[in-house]
Structure 1
Amino acid sequence: MTYVEPGKEFNRDTNYIETRITADGRDGYAAEPGRYRLVAARACPWAHRSIIVRRLLGLEDVLSLSIPGPTHDPRSWNFDEEPGGVDPVLKIERLQEAYFARFPDYPRGITVPAMVEISTGEVVTNNYPQITLDLSTEWKQYHRPGAPDLYPEPLRAEIDEVAQRVFTEVNNGVYRCGFAGSQEAYDKAYDRLFTALDWLAGRLSGQRYLVGDTITEADVRLFTTLVRFDPVYHGHFKCNRSKLSEIPVLWNYARDLFQTPGFGDTVDFDHIKRHYYLVHTDINPTGIVPKGPNLHGWLEPHGRESLGGRPFGEGTAPSPPKSEEVVPPDHWVPA
């Protein structure tokens, strides 16, 4: 697959299906238990956010989860790791089928996460930034007892501001490095990325979380990039000024979140590495997937408790993942 355009900067298409699933159903889709299926590849950082938020809020019995395989072709994400290569609920081989069921001439990429209405088999939305915010706000009546408030109203302006910089400079910044089509574009992207990471390290040197003293949407959005940094972005995307493990504040912060229920137990390093190194054939034409790095450091003490903070605020940690959603141990622990 080709992502690099010679001589050009990488520009992400941010036009998504704007339909929302809301408490009042104003777009025709009300938040209801059992009505929708979240299709979210563990390989994808944008989809990984929705998996984490669903776990933290305890929506597992309300909103079912579909995990595509770690690779895709130019047509679509597929379910090649499911029995028979078919999603067991939606009965489709490719996510593309749900998009075409609603939009027969859908002209854009088939992306995850996607919310699919089970009864019709039609995609409702793939607007990943809005999906997680709506899970926090529009699905509130279905949250588990003790669910954290990931988007507290008094902090929303600050969360939005921090999240915007995290998106432009870090979440998308690693892609601007990896898919730069010229030396000039790469150099510019590299400098922007590490300027932002230095800013984040400074911000987090004196506070445990990005905004306030509890985990918020902003932390979820940053975590999914940080957890992929050393296995993928440092080498594959040439983001190689420093490994995450060589930036003490960010390394400790990322490990703090990783060791928090709902974060590390959703990480699938096997899917992550196979996705990037096998799909991006213009960057890695041999399709060789690196054996490293050693991942044991993710479970070492991080010391962030000394900064205070309350991970779940007035709430509690989520229960362990459902048995069918447990990431296989060999997908993150090296042999």
Structure 2
Amino acid sequence: MAPSEQQSKTVTELNKDGSFNRQRNRFTTPFGNQPGELPVEAGRYRLVWSAACPWAHRSVIVRKVLGLEDAISLGTVSPMRPRLQHVDWEFSLDKEGMDPILGIRYLSEIYLKTDPNYSGRPTVPVMVDITKDQAVNNDYFKLTNYFETVWAPFHKRNAPDLYPEHLRDEIDALNEIIFHEVNNGVYKCGFAHSQDAYEQAYDMLFARLDQLEECLSKQRFLFGDFITDSDVRLYTTLARFDAAYYTAFRTNRNLIREFDHLWGYARDLYQTTGFGETTDFDAIKRHYHLSITISPDKQEVNILPKGPDLSVWDSQQNRYKLSNHEEKFLIHAGK
């Protein structure tokens, strides 16, 4: 089934001043056990992601860290978007170019099957209810929190607590800052259509990175000795920064490897179970440098940057010395 002709050829996500205004998520029904919520059932949902996408990557990190792989299946779209009249994701990595469970070639197919009037970009991550063949949640901002809380019955034994109850208000507040000023901050730089909008986003981004650098000079992770949901969210942007955002999005004041503490922190996480093995630098580079992003009108390019040197991600960082614990890698104790 080909993507519907009803879907718009272009998606406008710009304010009048040329600043980038990300589209809202369409499917936001929460997971839970209350009436009207999505039932939490093993084997019922398929998480669709792209290894290039930071929003999708964090859900896959949390899925891995908490041991939800058997409860939630994973579908993967290519980092290279298809050349269509609209922006889409394609299952070209799968045999015969179709997802083996959902039976679709383009992600827009499940969006339009769920909502025939949908006209935005089909986005990842998205949770698809296999029993109904419908997209049910693409709320990347809250998805990891659902995995960390109401999906707890399916966590592996001794799973870490990435969202400790006594820290949730603080984590939520920091997540808001990280989203607006860092995660989406790089996109505000890259997709700005005016010099003023770009420079405002650029200044905000690096002011926040400077503050995080100072914070991480005193403690191993954002909330001390243990990894939390906030660290997952910051990591996915840091992992893409030098390889993609620095050049593709013109965030070129500093490379992350030029920050003493952010760089050590990023490597500390990369070398932690669930982070490094789900980080695909080749997919990241191909997506941001060779593929279209949110505009189907982007001109095709054929040169993939050779650098940067990615072997340094495995270099020693000694961040454990900032911890009060001797373990090299530590995640907050489970429930």
TM-score (norm 1): 0.89
The 2-side partners of 1:309 and 1:236 are apart by 39
Shift of 1:31: 0.6
User: Residue 314 of structure 1 corresponds to which residue in structure 2?
Assistant: 333
Shift of 1:158: 0.9
Amino acid across the alignment from 2:60: I
Contact 1:208/1:309 (CA < 8 Å) preserved in 2? no
Are 1:78 and 1:95, in contact at CA under 8 Å, matched by a contact in 2?
yes
Matching residue within 67, 74, 88 for 2:76: 67
Tell me the matched-pair count. 315
C-alpha change, 1:309 and 1:215, in structure 2 (3 Å) is farther
- Provide Cα deviations, 1:145-191, integer angstroms capped at 9, x if missing partner: 01111110100111111111111110011011111111111111111
Partner SS for 1:200: helix
User: Residue 17 of structure 1 is aligned with which of 24, 27, 47?
Assistant: 27
Is the Cα–Cα contact under 8 Å of residues 292 and 298 in structure 2 kept in the other structure?
Answer: no
Who is 1:147 aligned against? Answer: 159
Tell me how far apart the structure 1 counterparts of residues 137 and 302 of structure 2 sit (CA, whole Å): 32
Gaps (5+ residues) in structure 2? 1-9
- Deviations 1:223-270, CA, capped at 9 Å, x for gaps: 000000000011111111110110111000000000001001100111
Q: Which amino acid aligns with 2:170?
A: E
RMSD: 2.0
Larger deviation, residues 57-66 vs 269-278: 269-278
Q: Secondary structure at the match of 1:40?
A: strand
User: Do 1:158 and 1:211's aligned partners in 2 also have CA atoms closer than 8 Å?
Assistant: no
Distance 2:236 2:256 in 1: 13
Q: Which residue of 1 aligns with 2:217?
A: 205
Q: Deviations over 1:66-121 (max 9, x none)?
A: 11111224242110110000101111111112112221111221000000011221
1:159 aligns with 2:189: no
1:107 to 119, 122, 135: 119
Structure 2 residue aligned with 1:286: 301
1:39 aligns with 2:39: no
Q: Give the SS at the match of 1:67.
A: strand
Aligned residue number for residue 284 of structure 2:
272
Percent pairwise identity: 47
**Equivalent AA in structure 2 for residue 70 of structure 1:** P
| Superimposed CA distance per residue, residues 6-32 of structure 1 (whole angstroms, 9 cap, x where no aligned partner) | 96011112343221222x153252110
Structure 1 gaps, min length 5:
317-335
Q: Equivalents in 2 of 1:283, 1:302: separation in Å?
A: 39
Counterpart Cα distance in 1 of 2:143 and 2:50: 15
Give the deviation of 1:313 after TM superposition.
2.4
Deviates more, 1:96-105 or 1:135-144: 96-105
8 Å contact 1:155–1:212 — kept in the other structure?
no
Distance in 1 (CA, whole Å) between partners of 2:109 and 2:228 is 34
Structure 1 residue 195 displacement after superposition: 0.1
| 1:287 CA drift (Å) | 4.0
Query: Structure 1's 82 and 309: CA in aligned 2 closer, same or farther, altered over 3 A?
Result: farther
2:161 partner SS: coil
> Which residue number corresponds to residue 94 of structure 1?
106
Partner of 2:315: 300
The equivalent residue for 1:179 is 191
Aligned to 1:322: none
Relative to structure 1, the CA distance from residue 123 to residue 264 in structure 2 (aligned partners, 3 Å threshold; closer, same or farther) is same
Cα gap change, 1:172/1:248 in structure 2, threshold over 3 Å: closer, same or farther?
A: same
Taking structure 2 as the reference length, the TM-score comes to: 0.89
- Matched residue, 2:3: none
Maintained 8 Å contact 1:72/1:78:
yes
Superposed counterparts of 1:123-272, under 5 Å: 123-272=135-284
Secondary structure of the equivalent of 2:189? helix
> What amino acid sits opposite 2:81 in the alignment?
H
* Distance (Å, rounded) in 2 between the aligned partners of 1:186 and 1:309: 41
Post-superposition Cα deviations, 1:289-316, rounded to whole Å, max 9, x if no partner, equal: 2111110100000110101156222259
The CA distance in 1 between the partners of 2:75 and 2:151, in whole Å, is: 19
